[in-house]
Structure 1
Amino acid sequence: MMHDMDLLELLKAALALFAIVDPVGVIPIFLMATHGFTLTQSRAAARIAALTVLGVLTIFAFAGETLLTFFGIRLAAFSVAGGLLLLLLALSMVEAHVSPQRQTQDEAVEAEEKDSVGVVPLGVPLLAGPGAITHVIVAAGALEGHTLQRGLLLLPVGLVALSVWLAFRAAPVIAKRLGKTGIHVVTRLMGLIIAAISIEMIARGLGELFPGLLT
């Protein structure tokens, strides 16, 4: 049976991961990337993007900490680095534009290839980007590393992947209802949430790296 703290960490992981991935905020990019697609092609891209998010984040939920150990990186240091990365992402979201961390110019060009658009740039790095990967690794470490508890991270990862699929399937309707301004408002709100999460990650990591620093 999971402890109350584990349940709390799992809930926090789910909410934070949804804010970081921000499937609603990525809808304008999805519409741009799938411009000229048939309905079948658009739905296929939505499905592939969701599966890419599920696969990438699942891998890092189980193997992320092992990779850190291999490279000799402490989780606390990764938490600080990830927090700084998230903060940069949050600042770009508050300004309602796509961060270079999520999509470079070259990756935007690759969106023209219909066969791979669901994987790159939509799946990686727009959705399952550095911010989401960092958060999954840190969340896995916070769950004490037990296989069962770490496996429970598949719940928020799966829910986020499902939300991506649903958001992209409904992209034309959502974009019409919210409008460009509405989507920008959602993106800015998510940016504020991510900024707060990033500060918490940095503070926690610094506290572990330098005991007594923040007391």
Structure 2
Amino acid sequence: MHFDFDHLLTVVFTLFAVIDVIGSVPLFISYKEKLGGLDEKRITLFSGIIMIAFLFVGQSLLNVFGLTIQSFAVAGAIVLFLLGLEMVLGHEIFKGDNSTSQKGAASIRAGAIVPISFPIIAGTASLTTIMSLKANYDKLYIIAGILINLLIVFVVLKSLGWIQRVLGAGGMLAIRKFFGVVLLAMAVKIFSTNLAAFGK
């Protein structure tokens, strides 16, 4: 297979926008305070396992429900579009349970999986995007994109305090809105590319 750097860059950037690790910094900081700390390595590991596993078994799950990658990609594009609107407009569309009352080392380990690894990092949007990308790009690019983003996630988690001081509330808001626009554009591209498959 001929390696296409542009494809890798598109996958990496798309996943980065969807995972929105910068936009999630306030959430990470909040959970770090609630849990008394974060296990960055465990969080990164579990997030990677979830995303890569879904890349390979996602098709089998779709087959169980009689769906195609194209139909899932179109549905995923709609989800991405709504996420983009949420990020740009600042209105919460997807609501989740972010409560936790546990403390200590046990809660830090549990927090590595729920809610940080799933659904904040490897959530519905990330998994949907992985399946959407699978309809247009080779698995090699997607795996590489996941690994690169996991490295970014790890670095961000290790640098929460520094990022908060440098960006400030206004900076994080601006970055979140920028990647919201990116998501909207990617959603339109994925939707238009895969919608044509239904006419065949």
TM (normalized to structure 2)? Answer: 0.88
37 and 60 in structure 1: CA distance in 2 versus 1, 3 angstrom threshold = closer
Q: Distance in 1 between matches of 2:42 and 2:186?
A: 28
Contact 1:65 1:141 survives alignment (8 Å):
no
Contact 2:42 2:109 survives alignment (8 Å):
no
What displacement does 1:111 show? Answer: 7.0
Instruction: Kindly tell me the number of residue pairs found equivalent between the two proteins.
Output: 196
Moved beyond 6 Å, runs of 4+:
none
Aligned counterpart for 1:186 among listed residues 167, 175, 192: 175
Of residues 107-116 and 72-81 in structure 1, the stretch that sits farther from structure 2 once superposed is 107-116
Match of 1:200 in 2: 189
What are the residue-to-residue correspondences of 1:1-215 with 2, within 5 Å? 1-2=1-2, 4=4, 7-35=5-33, 38=36, 41-42=37-38, 44=39, 46-96=40-90, 99-100=93-94, 104=96, 107-110=97-100, 112=102, 113-143=107-137, 149-211=138-200
AA matched with 2:99: V
82 and 36 in structure 1: CA distance in 2 versus 1, 3 angstrom threshold = closer
172 and 3 in structure 1: CA distance in 2 versus 1, 3 angstrom threshold = closer
Contact 1:111 1:117 survives alignment (8 Å):
no
Q: What is the root-mean-square deviation of aligned Cα atoms in Å?
A: 2.0
Of residues 165-174 and 196-205 in structure 1, the stretch that sits farther from structure 2 once superposed is 196-205
50 and 96 in structure 1: CA distance in 2 versus 1, 3 angstrom threshold = farther
Contact 1:111 1:121 survives alignment (8 Å):
no
AA matched with 1:110: T
96 and 136 in structure 1: CA distance in 2 versus 1, 3 angstrom threshold = same
Deviations 1:99-142 (A, max 9, x none): 52xx51xx311375433112111111111111111121222232
Q: Distance in 2 between matches of 1:110 and 1:159?
A: 30
Deviations 1:149-208 (A, max 9, x none): 524422111111111111111011101111111111111101100011111111122111
Contact 1:33 1:111 survives alignment (8 Å):
no
Q: Distance in 2 between matches of 1:152 and 1:197?
A: 17
126 and 111 in structure 1: CA distance in 2 versus 1, 3 angstrom threshold = farther
Task: Provide the secondary structure at the position in 2 that maps to 1:153.
Answer: helix
AA matched with 2:79: L
Q: Distance in 1 between matches of 2:14 and 2:80?
A: 11
What displacement does 1:75 show? Answer: 1.4
Q: Distance in 2 between matches of 1:69 and 1:8?
A: 30
Report the identity percentage. 23
AA matched with 1:178: L
Unaligned ranges ≥5, structure 1: 144-148
171 and 52 in structure 1: CA distance in 2 versus 1, 3 angstrom threshold = same
Unaligned ranges ≥5, structure 2: none
72 and 27 in structure 1: CA distance in 2 versus 1, 3 angstrom threshold = same
186 and 98 in structure 1: CA distance in 2 versus 1, 3 angstrom threshold = farther
